[in-house]
Amino acid sequence: MERAQHDPILFIDGRWRHASDGGTRDIINPADGSVVAVVDEATVDDARAAVTAASRAFAPDSASNWRNTTVAERSAICDRIADFLERDRDEIARIETLDTGKTLRESHIDIDDVVSVFRYYARLGAVEADRLVDVGDPTIISRVVREPVGVCVLIAPWNYPLLQIVWKIAPAIVAGCTMVVKPSEVTPLSTIRLIKLTEEAGAPAGVVNLIQGSGASIGDALTDNPDVDLISFTGGATTGAHIAEVAARHVSKVALELGGKNPHIVFADADWTSAVDAVVTGVFLHSGQVCSSGTRLIVEESIAQRFVQAVAERAATIRFGDGMDPASETGPLVSETHRAKVEDYVALGISEGATLVLGGRRPTGDQYAAGSYFPPTIFDHCKRDMRVVQEETFGPILTVERFIDEAEAIALGNDTTYGLAAGVRTADSARAERVARALRHGTVWVNDFGVYTAAAEWGGFGKSGNGRELGPTGLAEYQETKHIWTNTAPKEVGWFTA
């Protein structure tokens, strides 16, 4: 397709532009391999221009004076974006489904979630006030005030494109930062639509900039830059470690969410029906392409055989197919490349000696021929040191380990270099509390799984990253605190007496 046939999608300093070298990328629908859009592919120069634009917009003499706008003005922009997302809900949900493969139902839920995130931060900005510190001297006013961190680079992955970028954009706007947004090159479409809404909502030129392109080619041009104050990244562990290294060169702040390998611990006394349902939903929703996916079932030995059988029977009935089909309960994997990676993990699990109980092979049938589908797959009798148990497969693969007692359940649940999320299911509330406190994970669900709220922090222990999104901490990440000490009755200190 020719460049002239598509709208420009790079947004730099309030202007929509094509890539400076005319480069483009086809965006593929993973449900059938068709091209759903052609978008500009930014160059290194475009990426640098976007950082420069964000930097200029943050300067004290910028035309919009953005960093000195009031919280109320910035919160109003977030509220307007939320209104527009509600107005365009169906259109954006369709875009998200065509781009990611997720079901339309899930795309709608994602939009409702991001609306709540914009509204939450719009309110929180006003609540999180400056703090007065009592230093024990009535002539001193000691105040801790919050100011924007500055220029932020916000990088998102492909599994929840809209959701994950909004967890960054909303607090960054409320805090008064300027930003360069980079969606995954695989799934940029909903983010492009969102940036149009930020423009419509009145974000001044240069405050929100959009760059689209391969992280390998333009990532360093965004992050390896002394003008960048903060990089917030959600994605793979290897890329995250690279970004942390690059950021260290300039002592830029980094917030990283790098996925997980999340245990779901089921005790014998757990409510049976909801436990089976939660284990199935927890791992097979969005075909396992979820950072908090409950990929490690850790089940009490006495019920293990029956429980795994019940999970497998339930999982076998999951209807996967084109996300646009209302009958589909889950869609394809995001790309052929990703399906190949998941298939490698299936082969690895078999070679490591795990017992394949369900799935493991591409589905047959005309409706699956052109898309990157993969069925729910279950490995039983896994050992904790197997790579399929320890590494993030990011696909519909459940591994099963068994435990004898509470201590072993906790030990298995913590036997991971990650630490994003975990679930525990038991009817014993004292035990639930003990296990929840002992697990080294950023979120622990008790008799629930995979739920979150804009008002509670999200993030990981260990190699799942650092920093937190959502909740008050998710706003604080985009703020510097400044201590202002005012002496209302100055007099000589009296230290040097001569």
Instruction: Name the site residues for ligand TXE (rule: CB under 6 A).
Output: 155-159, 182, 184-185, 214-216, 219-220, 223, 234-236, 239, 242-243, 257-259, 291, 341, 392, 394
Check: CB of residue 57 under 8 Å from CB of residue 64: yes
400 - beta bridge partners?
297
Q: What is the closest distance, in whole angstroms, from the C-beta atom of residue 350 to ligand TXE in the complex?
A: 20
CA–CA gap between residue 193 and residue 209 (Å, rounded): 13
Instruction: Indicate the residue type of 319.
Output: R
Residue 291 known to be catalytic: yes
Cα dist. 394→164, 285, 287 in Å? 16, 11, 8
Closest CA to 379 of 401, 402, 353, 398: 398
Residue 257 known to be catalytic: yes
Residue number with CB closer to ligand TXE (220 or 457): 220
Residue number with CB closer to ligand TXE (32 or 41): 41
CA–CA gap between residue 96 and residue 102 (Å, rounded): 7
Residue number with CB closer to ligand TXE (57 or 231): 231
Q: What is the closest distance, in whole angstroms, from the C-beta atom of residue 226 to ligand TXE in the complex?
A: 16
Residue 445, both tokens: 């669900």
Cα dist. 222→219, 282, 324, 427 in Å? 5, 35, 35, 49
Residue 171, both tokens: 């607090």
Catalytically annotated residue among 41, 96, 106, 257 = 257
Q: What is the closest distance, in whole angstroms, from the C-beta atom of residue 243 to ligand TXE in the complex?
A: 6
At 26 the three-state DSSP class reads strand
Residue number with CB closer to ligand TXE (242 or 250): 242
Phi and psi dihedrals of 483, rounded to 5? -95, 120
Residue number with CB closer to ligand TXE (368 or 394): 394
Cα dist. 395→259, 286, 330, 344 in Å? 12, 9, 12, 11
CA dihedral 491, 493, 497, 498 (to 10 degrees): -60
Residue number with CB closer to ligand TXE (199 or 392): 392
At 165 the three-state DSSP class reads helix
Q: What is the closest distance, in whole angstroms, from the C-beta atom of residue 446 to ligand TXE in the complex?
A: 23
Residue number with CB closer to ligand TXE (125 or 259): 259
Residue number with CB closer to ligand TXE (7 or 245): 245
Q: What is the closest distance, in whole angstroms, from the C-beta atom of residue 233 to ligand TXE in the complex?
A: 6
Q: What DSSP string runs through 447-481?
A: S--S---TTS-B--SGGGEES-BSHHHHHHTTEEE
Given the structure tokens 């899930």, which residue do they identify?
106
Q: What is the closest distance, in whole angstroms, from the C-beta atom of residue 413 to ligand TXE in the complex?
A: 19
CA–CA gap between residue 330 and residue 318 (Å, rounded): 8
Closest CA to 175 of 104, 122, 232, 241: 122
Q: What is the closest distance, in whole angstroms, from the C-beta atom of residue 215 to ligand TXE in the complex?
A: 2
142 - beta bridge partners?
133, 485
Return left, alpha or beta for 429; rule: phi > 0 is left, psi -120 to 50 is alpha, else beta.
Answer: alpha
Q: What is the closest distance, in whole angstroms, from the C-beta atom of residue 476 to ligand TXE in the complex?
A: 21
Catalytically annotated residue among 291, 300, 382, 469 = 291
Active site residues: 257, 291
